[in-house]
Structure formats: C-alpha cells, structure tokens
C-alpha cells in the first residue's frame, strides 16, 4: 500500500507558542499553500485520514473526497502548556521535560512514548487494510513517530528529523513490516 503523509500548512499561531492539540487557526495563505501541497500528491486515494485538528482537516478536504477523522493522528497533547508562550512555562517543569521528553509528560499532557504508541497502533491497523493508496494529513510529531516506527530509531532522536510545513512523506507499507519502504520526502517550500 502506498501511503502519503502530509503535515498541515502554516498556522497563525506564533512560533514562540506551545501548541499541540489546540485547534489553532490557519494562516491567510492557506489556499495558496494547499495548492502547492496538492501538486505533490496523486489526485485520487482509496482512503483519506485526517487528524481532527482544523489545520489538518481543511487540507484533507481539499482532495475532494470523503475524509475520516482519526484521533490517533492528533499531535502530542501538551496539557497545561497548550497555547502558553514557551518562555512563560515554569522553568523547572520545562527543564525536567526537556531532559526526558520521551518519558516525562507536561502537566495534564502526554509524553512522546504515548504519542508513539497511538501512531504505531494506527499504522499496524492500516497495514492490514485492503487499500492501494492512502492519504494521511497530520502533524510534525506524528510524522516523526512514523519515521521512528518505520526505521526503528530511538524516540529521543526524532527531533533530528526536520518536518516542514506541508511536507509530504511517501512510504510503502506491507502486511510484513520488514518490507516497508520510504519512497520520498518532499517539501513544497512553504
């Protein structure tokens, strides 16, 4: 099965703000950016999945096909830190999390291990479906977890993988995980 994973386009939220599962607004450049992303994708899919976040769902709907919302494709939950300026998060909390973001959760949030478990579960279920071509519109954290899932890399290394806005990761998955392949990673230059 061919799977195209796409990160959402630019949002209005400032880069100094912590947002994960918060439903932030898309930038005014959405239509232009969506067209650039669509140029990197096939025109027809057997199935389209999207994170429930508006920033993902709107892009998925641009394909003109039915879209299934999938909660496992949500970004990491930053709990009490959602929509806070990174500089306003208490230093002891942030420092502790930064030392072990794989295992430590932000207050009332989730850690990377939980995010990876959700994403892996979704990928395992997907590999057993009878589709030829699938589109998934989601977030950078989810895309990084897919990389880790495919390559068996330690979770503490996933932030070494750059995932740009509108980035398209093309992979091939099979019922036997040993035969999975990364086809390409394309960035529309947003």
Q: Are 72 and 60 a contacting pair, CB within 8 Å? A: no
Which residues fall within 8 angstroms of residue 31, CB to CB, at 6 or more apart? none
Strands of the 47-50 sheet, one edge to the other? 68-69, 47-50, 133-138, 2-7, 168-172, 181-186
Q: What is the CATH number of domain 2-186?
A: 3.40.50.1240
Q: Are 5 and 136 a contacting pair, CB within 8 Å? A: yes
Digit-by-digit pLDDT tens for the chain (190 residues) are 999 999 999 999 878 999 999 999 999 999 999 999 999 999 999 999 999 999 999 999 999 889 999 999 999 999 999 999 999 999 999 999 999 999 999 999 999 999 999 999 999 999 999 999 999 999 999 999 999 999 999 999 999 999 999 999 999 999 999 999 999 999 998 8
Q: Smallest Cα–Cα separation from 110: which of 138, 151, 71, 147? A: 71
Residue 47 in tokens: 């199935």
Domain range annotation of the chain: 2-186
């Amino acid at each position: 099965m061919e799977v195209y994973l796409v990160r959402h386009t630019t949002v209005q939220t400032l880069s100094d703000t912590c947002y994960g599962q918060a439903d932030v607004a898309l930038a005014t450049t959405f239509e232009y950016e969506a067209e650039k992303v669509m140029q990197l994708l096939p025109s027809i899919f057997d199935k389209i999945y999207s994170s429930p976040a508006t920033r993902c769902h709107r892009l998925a709907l641009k394909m003109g096909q039915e879209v299934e919302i999938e909660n496992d494709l949500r970004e990491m939950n930053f709990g009490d830190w959602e929509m806070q300026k990174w500089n306003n998060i208490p230093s002891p909390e942030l420092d502790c999390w930064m030392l072990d973001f794989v295992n430590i959760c932000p207050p009332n949030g989730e850690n990377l291990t939980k995010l990876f478990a959700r994403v892996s579960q979704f990928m395992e279920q997907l590999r057993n479906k009878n589709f030829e071509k699938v589109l998934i519109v989601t977030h950078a954290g989810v895309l990084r977890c897919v990389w880790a899932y495919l390559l068996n890399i330690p979770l503490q290394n996933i932030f070494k993988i750059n995932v740009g806005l509108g980035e398209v990761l093309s992979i091939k998955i099979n019922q036997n995980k040993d035969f999975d392949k990364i086809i390409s990673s394309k960035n529309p230059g947003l």
